């Protein structure tokens, strides 16, 4: 302690210096000052990657801090087994039905790899999440894109008509990204039942936890009855753990075994412990979904007053027909402190808007109002 300083002054000064140098170590900023604090609080709001603005939960954070102490050990094998047990229990299957990936992105890519090794063609809607399509092309597979229906829904009849001898995998994202829309569950189920003897059905349920439609059912029941179906889920969305990369597949033990032989096993103990804690934290999940619904309402109410079209979203994002080219809309909104989603051609006068906290959504409404005027 410096001479002439009270104990309180010394503690405050040390805390400032320590905080400043810690922040410096993390961000590269030499010292913290008012301008820095200001610029941090004026950061544009992220409404572009379908993240959870509340994550990770306090319980997940505690589990992560505890996991730091395990980081010198190869303890992720045990944690992976624990995670599988938990996912099996929560979904009414056995651990042999679960494959854990480095995010569900890895599950998508390794499924495309499997399809490529089998020299299969992939069938996929023309407007959907692109990871599996891109990776299938990397694997030199033909990817047949099926146009959307007039309401921008997935056209299952047309998908059915386009199945041929070479089709070995069909990708369906439910709810779909970027539309946020669900397929009719009965239609989807009968489609899967009809075609799963000809090809593997990959049903991407990344946004499963956000769905509020009472008629929705996961396709996990088809896995339970032994059908050729892969359902993927992720800890990146409602659990708010996108940066930790934990996702998983639920499929038949045969498909899981094959998928696992391709996975890179790049899981880490902090991510796994966080996911194990978060999937048991029902309060956080409910809170995230409630806040997401409130955020969507803030935007929907505004769009309704303006007569602007948007789709019925069962996810944490909305697809909005702004009637402004997204290449103009994106930078214009950034000027008003809002980062919106990328272009989804050919829907270039639409914008995919991810939900932030309800109180932040006014910033989008205000910015949009200014862009419109």
Ligand X SMILES: Cc1ncc(COP(=O)(O)O)c(C=O)c1O
Q: How far apart are CA 108 and CA 45, in angstroms?
A: 29
Q: Do 85 and 211 form a contact (C-beta atoms < 8 A)?
A: no
98-101 β-sheet, strand order = 98-101, 247-250, 229-234, 200-204, 167-173, 121-125, 143-146
Q: Pattern 46-65, binding to ligand X, x per CB under 6 A?
A: ----x---------------
Which residues, other chains included, contact 166 with Cβ-Cβ below 8 Å and sequence gap of 6+? 119, 120, 121, 142
Q: Tell me which stretch binds ligand X (CB under 6 A): 220-228, 234-242, 325-333, 356-364.
A: 234-242
Query: Is the Cβ of residue 32 or residue 123 nearer to ligand X in the bound state?
Result: 123
Residue 327: CB minimum distance to ligand X, A: 21
Residue 107: CB minimum distance to ligand X, A: 8
Among 103, 240, 341, 367, indicate the residue that binds ligand X (CB under 6 A). 103
Which residues, other chains included, contact 307 with Cβ-Cβ below 8 Å and sequence gap of 6+? none
Q: Is 242 in the site for ligand X (CB under 6 A)?
A: yes
Q: Do 220 and 93 form a contact (C-beta atoms < 8 A)?
A: yes
Q: Tell me which stretch binds ligand X (CB under 6 A): 87-95, 101-109, 192-200, 216-224.
A: 101-109
**Site size with ligand X, rule: CB under 6 A:** 13
* Pairing label, strands 200-204, 229-234: parallel
* Pairing label, strands 98-101, 247-250: antiparallel
Q: Tell me which stretch binds ligand X (CB under 6 A): 102-110, 152-160, 217-225, 320-328.
A: 102-110
Beta strands of the chain (E only): which ranges?
Answer: 45-47, 98-101, 121-125, 143-146, 167-173, 200-204, 229-234, 247-250, 317-321, 338-340, 350-354
Q: Is 171 in the site for ligand X (CB under 6 A)?
A: no
Among 204, 300, 318, 324, indicate the residue that binds ligand X (CB under 6 A). 204
Among 206, 250, 275, 356, indicate the residue that binds ligand X (CB under 6 A). 206
Q: How far apart are CA 116 and CA 223, in angstroms?
A: 22
Q: Is 105 in the site for ligand X (CB under 6 A)?
A: yes
Query: Is the Cβ of residue 174 or residue 252 nearer to ligand X in the bound state?
Result: 174
Query: Is the Cβ of residue 129 or residue 284 nearer to ligand X in the bound state?
Result: 129
Among 133, 236, 285, 313, indicate the residue that binds ligand X (CB under 6 A). 236
Residues near ligand X (CB under 6 A) are 50, 103-105, 129, 173, 177, 204, 206, 234, 236, 242, 247
């Amino acid at each position: 302690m410096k001479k002439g300083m009270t104990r309180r002054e010394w503690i405050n000064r040390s805390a400032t210096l320590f905080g400043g140098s810690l922040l410096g170590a993390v961000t590269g900023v030499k010292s913290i000052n008012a301008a820095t604090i200001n610029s941090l609080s004026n950061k544009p709001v992220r409404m572009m990657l379908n993240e959870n603005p509340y994550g990770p939960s306090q319980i997940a954070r505690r589990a992560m801090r505890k996991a730091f102490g395990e980081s010198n050990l190869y303890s992720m094998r045990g944690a992976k087994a624990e995670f599988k047990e938990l996912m099996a229990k929560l979904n009414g299957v056995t651990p042999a039905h679960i494959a854990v990936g480095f995010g569900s992105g890895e599950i998508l890519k390794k499924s495309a790899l499997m399809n490529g090794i089998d020299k299969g063609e992939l069938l996929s809607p023309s407007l959907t999440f692109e990871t599996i399509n891109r990776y299938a092309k990397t694997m030199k597979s033909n990817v047949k894109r099926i146009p959307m229906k007039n309401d921008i829904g997935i056209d299952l009849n047309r998908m059915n008509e386009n199945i041929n001898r070479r089709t070995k995998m069909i990708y369906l994202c439910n709810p779909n990204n970027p539309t946020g829309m669900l397929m009719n569950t009965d239609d989807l189920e009968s489609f899967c039942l009809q075609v799963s003897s000809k090809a593997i059905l990959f049903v991407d349920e990344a946004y499963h936890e956000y769905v509020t439609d009472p008629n929705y059912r996961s396709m996990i029941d088809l896995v339970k009855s032994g059908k050729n179906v892969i359902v993927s889920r992720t800890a990146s969305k409602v659990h708010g753990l996108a940066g930790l990369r934990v996702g998983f597949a639920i499929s038949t033990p045969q498909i899981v075994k094959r998928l696992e032989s391709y996975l890179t096993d790049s899981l880490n103990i902090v991510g796994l412990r966080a996911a194990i804690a978060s999937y048991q934290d029902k309060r956080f999940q409910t809170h995230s979904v409630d806040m997401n619904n409130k955020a969507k309402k803030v935007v929907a109410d505004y769009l309704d007053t303006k007569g602007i079209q948007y789709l019925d979203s069962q996810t944490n994002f909305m697809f909005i027909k702004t009637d402004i080219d997204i290449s103009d809309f994106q930078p214009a909104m950034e000027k008003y402190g809002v980062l919106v989603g990328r272009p989804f051609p050919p829907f270039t006068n639409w914008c995919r808007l991810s939900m932030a906290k309800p109180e932040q959504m006014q910033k989008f409404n205000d910015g949009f109002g200014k862009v419109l005027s």
